[in-house]
A and B are shown apart, each in its own frame.
Chain A
Amino acid sequence: MRITLNGVSEDCAAATLAELLQSLDLANAAIATALNGSFIRRDQRAATPLHEGDAVEIVAPMQGG
């Protein structure tokens, strides 16, 4: 299926958000996630299925003012 990952359309074989992060080697990284504009807690990732057309955001600490 195709999803939008951080604004870029990509093929995705992962069934859940947790699997997607595993495939990106970000499962244990300092990140936070959102699906279709809604925050997904760390403990909800494994129970969050991905569907065709989903928009996933993965954010990390960044410099800020």
Chain B
Amino acid sequence: MTLSQPWSDAPMRLYDHTFNSRLLLGTARYPSPAVLARAVGASKAEIVTVSLRREQAGQRSGQAFFELLRSLNVKLLPNTADCHSVKEAVTTAHMARELFQTDWIKLEVIGNAETLQPDIFGLVEAARILCADGFAVFPYMTEDLVLAEKLLAVGCKVLMPWGAPIGSGRGLNNSYGLRTLRAWFPDVPLIVDAGLGLPSHAAAAMELGYDACLLNTAVAKAGDPAKMATAFAKAIAAGRLAYEAQPMEPRDFAEPSTPLAGKARLA
């Protein structure tokens, strides 16, 4: 590992695609397109999330953004952000597939407008419809074991539990739940999506054995987004390496690290 290549040697596979970077970056809320482009470059992200919004004929802002996306040379993961029903999410996914020319979809079915908590019942139904229609679904979900089983049963091959509510920057609210998912599904790619505020949060997720982290606001709203993107990239690489290195088990009491044998009798 070098500073210019801050990732683990082990590549990550998502829906038959292989990636070196384990950081997925959102493209929203940056001060400017130029700052966004610098942050994506600094993050070494190979996947970025995008959305669909109404295009005003006179402004054509979406066309300019599409040009910027093409220049970034990264894989696009469109989302169904702010969709509150199965129908809305499924229709948005179809529009995204045509527009971005990808079967990948970050599936959001929002159940609560304040917490942006997913409607897990709608999520499973939308995932069932989209998986049957050939989509590669990345479900934004809570860290619920039974929900995870149902999403896998309808065809999801990647799971994306939240760390905390979107944009909250609170980190991992339920490490136990996330650890349980990792233990229960050792072979399913798991990505912590949302709620990360600091690189240490991302490192903690990776130390749990998560395959990747998806974040946006923590980078976009930093004072220096490109520098924060670099910090996250290094934290994620460090967390992954630590997981692969198999951390020691914590103890309740001290254990001397310096050998006792041979100590001079001086008392």
Contact = CB atoms under 8 A, between A and B. Distances in A.
Interface of A: 6-7, 24-26, 29-34, 37-39, 41-42, 57-65
A30 B216 CA distance: 24
B8 interface: no
Interface residues of B, number: 38
A64 B63 contact: no
Best-buried of B27, B79, B87, B194 by chain A (most CB within 10 Å) = B27
A63 B29 contact: yes
Nearest to B30: A63
A6 B216 contact: no
Contact of A64 (B26, B57, B167): B26
B78 interface: yes
Nearest to A58: B55
Nearest to A59: B52
Nearest to A29: B63
Interface string B67-91: 0010000000011010000010001
B65 A7 contact: no
Interface of B: 26-30, 36, 49-57, 60-63, 65-66, 69, 78-79, 81, 87, 91, 94-96, 98-100, 166-167, 194, 216-217
Contact of A63 (B27, B54, B63, B167): B27
Given A6-B54, A25-B57, A61 B91 contact: no
Contacts of B63: 29-30, 60
B137 to A, nearest CB: 16
A40 B92 CA distance: 11
Given A29-B62, A30-B62, 13 more contacts: A7-B54, A31-B55, A32-B96, A37-B87, A42-B98, A60-B53, A61-B65, A62-B50, A62-B52, A63-B26, A63-B27, A64-B51, A65-B29
Contacts of B166: 65
B91 A37 contact: yes
Nearest to B81: A64
Nearest to B78: A64
24 contacts: A6-B54, A24-B57, A25-B57, A26-B55, A29-B62, A31-B62, A32-B94, A39-B98, A42-B98, A59-B62, A60-B53, A60-B55, A60-B61, A60-B62, A60-B63, A61-B65, A63-B65, A64-B27, A64-B49, A65-B26, A65-B29, A65-B49, A65-B51, A65-B167
A59 B49 contact: no
